Chain A
Amino acid sequence: MSGSTDIQNFDTPGALLASMTDGFWHNLWFRAPAGTKNGEATDWMGMWLWWFCVAWFVVLMAIMFYFVIRYRRSRVGPVAPASSAHNTPIELAWTVIPSLFLVFMFFKGFWGYIDNIVAPAHATEIKVEAAKWSWRFIYPTGAESRSTKELGSAFQRVFYVPEGKPVQLRIKSADVMHALWIPDFRIKADALPNRYTTLWFESKPLPADAPKLNADVDPLIKTAAKEKFKFLDGVPYQDHWLFCAEYCGEAHSEMAATVRVVPADMYKKWLDAITDKSDLAPAEYGKTIYQAQCSSCHSVDEGKTNTGPNWTELWGNPSIPLAGGGTAVGDANYVRESVRDPAAKIHAGFPNSMTPFPAASLSDDQLEAIMAYMKYVSKFTTQEVKDEVMRVPATDAAPAK
């Protein structure tokens, strides 16, 4: 990955700050500047911690070595001179001052973490499934990538993502614990078999000297039927490693993938090219399941009440009122729990009368199709998201926020 000279992220310019996200010391630790702005913020904190540790360590060790030399026995004699066993002002100082630094670290870490897990509302959601020992990215149109690249000792999948647009990953595992780590973006989340975890990123603009795609990089450019991917030839791109970061068995170290950033319009064309339009769109499929199994209690028409909550106010709702007080966020985990174990959280004002749907009667794939349909009907999702899950062809109109 080429070094970036684009460091307009902070209000105070200067070589010193630049060295916190690029430059010799930074690249000694991180190889290259981060691929996202949030990643750069993480790097800033990382480098701040590095210099903090260096400063304290050097001071402590200098004092220690000075004392050892100055007060060595060959110089002092067999008996040490008198000295105090306490010094309350110093002891207070060296307790309070480090604590203040720790408070700073805690808050910076906390805010940076929140920035990394709360995606913008208009982020496109890509589902990730981890299984022994490979990754699947399932795009909002229901399609999956077919490109591969040799990484280590195996060929692994390549996932195209758009430059400069927020992408949310909703991650789960099909079997054991895995973890998704994109080192260049400085983000990581575990992949659990019973719960979704989420990450998001927005890639920085591609550098001016980014390499260009060709058939050596992605053979599908030449080999795909009907020259489906020919448009990719000559497109600038940047590849990032994606590693599994939770031990999962014999091929744990081979469980990798490549995240490939391309310009947003090329990404849209690529997404269109990989999507098999002869099959139902995710939201269409979800609609058929809804009609057969959910419509008797849940309405998708705004304003209509029924036995169960209305789905126009579900997906993406930041505060669903719960019976017994409190609220819940209408996210994938809430929906999954509501289907598998409805009694866990009851929507305020509605009865506790929904039958649970275990995996045997509603598979994970069907559940995710329902989620796609929920996105389609919800008043909290953007038009762009709705279009993706229903495979409405991309237009040149500006996307709604």
Chain B
Amino acid sequence: MTTVDTSKSGGAHGGHGGHGHHGSYLEPRSSFLATIWDWATTVDHKKIGVMYLFAVLFLFFVAGVLALMVRTELLTPVRFVDGKVVGQELFSLFYPGEEATSVNKGNTVYNRIFTLHGAIMVFMVIVPSIPSSLGNFFLPLMIGAKDVAFPKLNLLSWYIYVIGSLFGIAAITQGGVETGWTFYTPYSSNTDFGQVTLMVLAAFILGFSSILTGLNFVVTVHKLRAPGMGWFDMPLFVWATYATAIIQVLATPVIGITLLLLCLERVFKIGIFDPALGGDPVLYQHFFWFYSHPVVYVMILPGMGIISDVLAVQSRKHIFGYKAIAFSSLGIAAVSFLVWGHHMFTSMGEIASVVFSGLTFLVAIPTAVKVFNWISTLYKGTIALNTPMLYVLIFLFLFSIGGLTGLPLATMSTDMHLHDTYFVVAHFHYVMMGGTIMALMAGLHHWWPKMFGRMYNEFGGMVGAILVFVGFNVTFFTQFFLGTQGMPRRYASYVTEFQTLHQISTVGSFILLLGFLVHLFVFIHSLMAGAKAPKNPWGGLTLEWVADSPPETHNFPHEPLVKNGPYDFESTVPPHWDPKDYPLENAGAHKH
């Protein structure tokens, strides 16, 4: 079975051999300023993806530092000793030299920090993390296209993201917000503190970046697949990105309208959410969660797509149940719109609560099936034990815990105890960070050689992964116990009984930091002095491995022709692979 027909050049460097072969997309221009201008006006999906990647990673660190501040504050509870406030670690950081006379000022610092941590992580990091970076970079490559359907729209999406983020930064520097990232009314519609309107506008603007990217991806998948690539020949990362894009297009407008209504409520007192003006505060929650539940599937589905691809390639094995995984992505996307009320069991009526509980259990089924399919893919594979694979295993471990701990939250009687406690905080960190971020790390390591033409240090990657894994569990598993034992969330202080668990959690958060610093160092080192990457270091069969490492500007010298499935490892020699290293029984007419 043949693989894809491309340039006959044997070297990994761009620029020689073949015909019409352009330079790598990373090649700088004649002067520094020209290079900056090139990147600032590019419509190349790869450059846009890289810009998103660096923005997302930078903001991840910013929000991560905020989290470390939260955990530091929680090392000790706040008390009065001899008439003086003690235990507010952040107060002296923000008001140096000042003496706290009451707990409120220091609490407000804490409340701003956790709000910003949540808002930055949700709106500026996790939602765009995989689709805008790896999605942008690899969707066209994987379907054999030159670029996305609307390259200029892609650049617009990037600039909208930048502008929205700048609005957010402006809000932060002008005092920030302390409403929680959920902006519940009437608190958020009435509070005088901070820059609620500005921050809400930031989120509103960022939403358009999401919508336009989603639109771009849907059209790209429908219209730009290379000849020979039917729907069931697409890599599962493409299926996942597609399902995500549909949710982005359909759900994001709802949060846009909701946030706009919140602004109108604050500025013009239209009376939609404030009961004093005849409104209903729970209505806000319905509007808010109608988007914010599907958005958590926007966060996790691309991660699941990465896991499918990385797992298959690193095990050199076809995915078990390809169609089941593909359809479950669409199924999860559809059902995700029906379960938003499970965030509101304690404020909704009884019938609504019952209905949402039942529907929430429904969405657990396709998710569980995916996990079973992935583990089954490992069966009779040939598994490389490297950093991408390690992150896949970490994902399976952490995401399983995250998913399973959703069950007591979907169960109404137990949710009555667990809602708005640290149990929920632990649950969503297990799925969002233990899921999406770990999948991002798997994908980053897996595709790093392709994106930047350099290998990363494998040992360093493994060390980082292990530190992240250990740190994550120490930080967040303890929080399950905090929740069941009685610790509410968004608390700047707590009863003394909870101090030990909080201190353990804080220690874990610094181990996490160490792990990510190791990764940062490994990546910087790779960019500066990493070994040159071959075109196909892992032996993948999907089209991105045909392109150069890093790819040339238009991805492929000619439009590729697809002749094998994405995971046909049993019958296909990977492109750019030496048949001596990859002997196959039925090694027929392969071209390399």
| Chain A residues close to B by CB (< 8 Å) | 28-31, 41-42, 45-46, 49, 52-53, 56-57, 60-61, 63-64, 67-68, 71-73, 76-83, 85-87, 91, 94-95, 98-99, 102-103, 105-106, 108-117, 151-154, 175-177, 179, 181, 183-184, 186-190, 192-195, 197, 241, 243-254
Q: How far is B103's CA from A277's CA once the two chains are assembled, in angstroms?
A: 38
Tell me if B412 counts as interface (CB < 8 A to partner A). yes
CB-defined contacts of A197 to chain B, threshold 8 Å = 346-347
Give the Cβ gap from A356 to chain B, nearest Cβ, in Å: 11
Once the chains bind, are B481 and A29 in contact (CB under 8 Å)? yes
Whose C-beta in chain A lies nearest to the C-beta of B190? A176
Once the chains bind, are A249 and B324 in contact (CB under 8 Å)? no
Tell me if B7 counts as interface (CB < 8 A to partner A). no
Give the Cβ gap from B110 to chain A, nearest Cβ, in Å: 8
Tell me if B107 counts as interface (CB < 8 A to partner A). yes
Tell me if B387 counts as interface (CB < 8 A to partner A). no
Size bracket of the B interface? 35 or more
Tell me if B396 counts as interface (CB < 8 A to partner A). yes
Q: How far is B106's CA from A153's CA once the two chains are assembled, in angstroms?
A: 13
Q: How far is B415's CA from A108's CA once the two chains are assembled, in angstroms?
A: 12
Once the chains bind, are A28 and B481 in contact (CB under 8 Å)? yes
CB-defined contacts of B364 to chain A, threshold 8 Å = 98, 102
Give the Cβ gap from A392 to chain B, nearest Cβ, in Å: 34
CB-defined contacts of B319 to chain A, threshold 8 Å = 85
Tell me if B488 counts as interface (CB < 8 A to partner A). yes
CB-defined contacts of A105 to chain B, threshold 8 Å = 361, 407, 410-411
Once the chains bind, are A194 and B280 in contact (CB under 8 Å)? yes
Give the Cβ gap from A328 to chain B, nearest Cβ, in Å: 12
Whose C-beta in chain B lies nearest to the C-beta of A190? B347
Assuming the contacts A95-B365, A253-B107, asked whether A190 and B381 have C-beta atoms less than 8 A apart, the reply is no
Once the chains bind, are B400 and A61 in contact (CB under 8 Å)? yes
CB-defined contacts of B407 to chain A, threshold 8 Å = 49, 52-53, 102, 105
CB-defined contacts of B401 to chain A, threshold 8 Å = 57
Interface residue from A110, A188, A250 paired with B111 (Cβ < 8 Å): A250
Once the chains bind, are B486 and A42 in contact (CB under 8 Å)? no
Specify which of B364, B408, B490, B492 lies most central, judged by the most chain A CB atoms within 10 Å of its CB.
B408
CB-defined contacts of A251 to chain B, threshold 8 Å = 103-104, 107
Once the chains bind, are A243 and B486 in contact (CB under 8 Å)? yes
Once the chains bind, are B408 and A49 in contact (CB under 8 Å)? yes
Once the chains bind, are A109 and B412 in contact (CB under 8 Å)? yes
Once the chains bind, are B378 and A68 in contact (CB under 8 Å)? yes
Once the chains bind, are A192 and B379 in contact (CB under 8 Å)? no
CB-defined contacts of A246 to chain B, threshold 8 Å = 184, 420
CB-defined contacts of B320 to chain A, threshold 8 Å = 85-86
27 A-B residue pairings within 8 Å (CB atoms): A46-B484, A53-B404, A57-B400, A64-B375, A67-B379, A68-B385, A71-B315, A79-B584, A80-B316, A82-B570, A105-B410, A109-B412, A110-B357, A153-B103, A181-B488, A183-B485, A183-B486, A190-B347, A192-B281, A192-B282, A193-B186, A194-B280, A245-B419, A250-B105, A252-B107, A253-B488, A253-B494
Give the Cβ gap from A119 to chain B, nearest Cβ, in Å: 13
Taking CB atoms and an 8 Å cut-off, the chain B residues in 351-395 that contact chain A are 353-354, 357-358, 361, 364-365, 368-369, 371-372, 375-376, 378-385, 393
Once the chains bind, are B569 and A53 in contact (CB under 8 Å)? no
Interface residue from A99, A109, A114, A153 paired with B80 (Cβ < 8 Å): A153
Q: How far is B571's CA from A82's CA once the two chains are assembled, in angstroms?
A: 10
Assuming the contacts A49-B414, A60-B375, A80-B316, asked whether A153 and B397 have C-beta atoms less than 8 A apart, the reply is no
Once the chains bind, are B410 and A109 in contact (CB under 8 Å)? yes
Give the Cβ gap from A185 to chain B, nearest Cβ, in Å: 9
Tell me if B108 counts as interface (CB < 8 A to partner A). yes
Q: How far is B415's CA from A188's CA once the two chains are assembled, in angstroms?
A: 9
Once the chains bind, are A80 and B570 in contact (CB under 8 Å)? yes
Once the chains bind, are A71 and B495 in contact (CB under 8 Å)? no
Assuming the contacts A72-B383, A152-B494, A188-B420, asked whether A42 and B378 have C-beta atoms less than 8 A apart, the reply is no
Give the Cβ gap from B446 to chain A, nearest Cβ, in Å: 15
Once the chains bind, are A109 and B411 in contact (CB under 8 Å)? yes
Assuming the contacts A71-B381, A251-B107, A254-B493, asked whether A79 and B582 have C-beta atoms less than 8 A apart, the reply is yes
Whose C-beta in chain B lies nearest to the C-beta of A81? B380
Assuming the contacts A41-B413, A45-B414, asked whether A61 and B397 have C-beta atoms less than 8 A apart, the reply is yes
Once the chains bind, are A193 and B419 in contact (CB under 8 Å)? no
Once the chains bind, are B417 and A186 in contact (CB under 8 Å)? yes
Once the chains bind, are B382 and A152 in contact (CB under 8 Å)? no
Once the chains bind, are B107 and A30 in contact (CB under 8 Å)? no
Once the chains bind, are B488 and A176 in contact (CB under 8 Å)? no
Given contacts A106-B411, A188-B420, 20 further A-B contacts (CB under 8 A): A29-B484, A46-B414, A63-B375, A64-B396, A72-B382, A85-B318, A85-B322, A91-B321, A98-B364, A98-B368, A106-B357, A109-B410, A152-B494, A181-B421, A188-B346, A192-B275, A192-B347, A249-B187, A250-B178, A252-B492
Once the chains bind, are B365 and A76 in contact (CB under 8 Å)? no
CB-defined contacts of A154 to chain B, threshold 8 Å = 103
Q: Mark B304-343, 1 if CB is under 8 A from A, else 0.
A: 0000000000011111111010000000000000000000
Q: How far is B368's CA from A241's CA once the two chains are assembled, in angstroms?
A: 37
Specify which of A42, A78, A103, A250 lies most central, judged by the most chain B CB atoms within 10 Å of its CB.
A250
Q: How far is B191's CA from A67's CA once the two chains are assembled, in angstroms?
A: 55
Once the chains bind, are B486 and A109 in contact (CB under 8 Å)? no
Assuming the contacts A42-B417, A79-B316, A190-B346, asked whether A253 and B324 have C-beta atoms less than 8 A apart, the reply is no
Tell me if B96 counts as interface (CB < 8 A to partner A). no
Q: How far is B569's CA from A78's CA once the two chains are assembled, in angstroms?
A: 10
Once the chains bind, are A247 and B184 in contact (CB under 8 Å)? yes
Once the chains bind, are A71 and B107 in contact (CB under 8 Å)? no
Whose C-beta in chain A lies nearest to the C-beta of B480? A29
Once the chains bind, are B411 and A252 in contact (CB under 8 Å)? no
CB-defined contacts of A195 to chain B, threshold 8 Å = 282
CB-defined contacts of A42 to chain B, threshold 8 Å = 413-414, 416-417
Taking CB atoms and an 8 Å cut-off, the chain B residues in 437-491 that contact chain A are 481, 484-486, 488-491
